[in-house]
Amino acid sequence: MTSGGDAPGMNAAVRAAVRRGWELGLSPVGIRRGYAGLIEGDLSPLTPRDVGGVIEYGGTFLHTARCPAFLTPEGQERALETIQREGLEALIVIGGEGSLAGARWLSQQGVPVVGLPASIDNDIQGTDMAIGVDTALNTVVWALNRIRDTALAHERVFLVEVMGRKSGYIALMGGLAGGAEIVLVPEVEVSLEQVIQEIEAGYRKGKHHSIVVVAEGVTDMLGPTAKLGEAIRARTGLDVRVTVLGHLQRGGSPTAFDRILGSRLGARAVEDVAAGRFGHMVGLRRGELVPVPLIEVERKEPVIDFGLYKLVHSLGK
C-alpha cells in the first residue's frame, strides 16, 4: 500500500513489487488509500497486467490518504482485523515518516512488515534518498528557470514558496540547482531585517533581480510568504512578486532516478517478504540498498546540509 503524501515513483515501486512477487510465487494484493483502505478492507489482487504502463505516471494508482483513524485504538483494531480476515501474510508500506511509524506499530503487534521510504521532503532517517525527491527537485528547478526569465525582464524580486513543512531540503537543493540568490529554511533562524539586507546588498552590487526560495516551514518564523513579500516591498521599494508552487511539486512523470529507485526498492521489499525478512525499511545508503530496523526510522535531524546552505548564499552574491 501507498500511504501519506503521494510521491512520484510510488507506482514504480508497486509495479516492481507485484511483478517480482509473481516471479517468486507470491500473490500480491493492493490496498487502496493506505491505512484508510486497510481499516475498511478496500483491497484487491494485483497481477502483472494490472501494473502495466504505470511506471511513467506520478501519484499512485493505489491512491493514498491521510488517516487520523489509524491513530485511534478503534482504527488500529479494525486494521488488525482486516489483516487477519483477508489472510494477509505480510505488508509492504510505501510512505513517509508518519506512514512508516504506522508500519513500526504493526510490526510491534506481530504483523510481518517491510517499509519503503517515499517523501519529497527527504526527511526519513536511515536513507540517503526517498522516492519522489528527485522529481520534486527537478520540478522546482524547472519553475525557477521560468520565474527567472520574468524576474530578469521586469527587474523584480521573486519569492518562491516550496513545500517542505519543517524540512528545508527541497528549498535548499532546489535553490542551489536553480541559482537562487537567497534560500530561507526553517532549520536556520533569520529575521526580516537580515533578508532585506541581503536583497539590498545584491542590488548595490549591480544585480537587477533576485530569486528568494522560501521553504513553507519558514512561515512559522517570518509569517506567510505573501506578508513577507509585502514587508520587503514596503521597506525597499522594489517590485516584489510571490509565487507558491504548492502541489505542482508532487505531480508529474517521475524522473529516471525515481523510477529506478522505486523499482529497486519495490523488488527488494518483495524479495525480503519471500525470504521471511521483516521489521525493517529498505533504505538507500551510498548507492546500496540496506535494511534499516523500523525502530530506528524516524524524522531525520537535521534534514539539510549546513555546508550547502552556506554555499548557496555564497554563490548567490
Q: How far is CA 147 from CA 81, 140, 198, 242, in A?
A: 51, 10, 20, 10
Q: Are residues 122 and 146 in the same domain?
A: no
Q: Are 104 and 209 in contact (CB under 8 A)?
A: no
Sequence-ordered list of residues with C-beta below 8 angstroms from that of 210, at least 6 positions apart, any chain: 151, 157, 158, 181, 182, 199, 202, 203
What CATH number is given to the structural domain containing 70? 3.40.50.450
pLDDT at 130: 98
CATH number at residue 227: 3.40.50.460
Do 77 and 139 belong together in one domain? Answer: no
308 lies in some domain: no
Clarify whether 123 is annotated catalytic: no
- Counting the structural domains of the chain, the total is 2
Question: Does 305 fall in a domain?
Answer: no
Domain ranges, residue 284: 10-132+254-296
Same domain, 152 and 119: no
In a domain, 3, yes or no: no
Q: Report the pLDDT averaged over residues 27-47.
A: 97
The CA distances from residue 266 to 33, 75, 107, 208, 316, in Å, are 18, 27, 19, 48, 39
Residue in 6, 42, 50, 121 annotated catalytic: 121
The CA radius of gyration of the chain, in Å to the nearest whole number, is 21
| Alpha-carbon 74 to chain mean position | 29
pLDDT tens, position by position, 120-150: 999 999 999 999 999 999 999 999 999 999 9
Q: pLDDT tens for residues 164-222?
A: 888 999 999 999 999 999 999 999 999 999 999 999 999 888 888 999 999 999 988 99
| Structure confidence by residue, pLDDT tens digits, 219-236 | 889 999 999 999 999 999
State residue 115's pLDDT score.
98
Residue 80 within a domain: yes
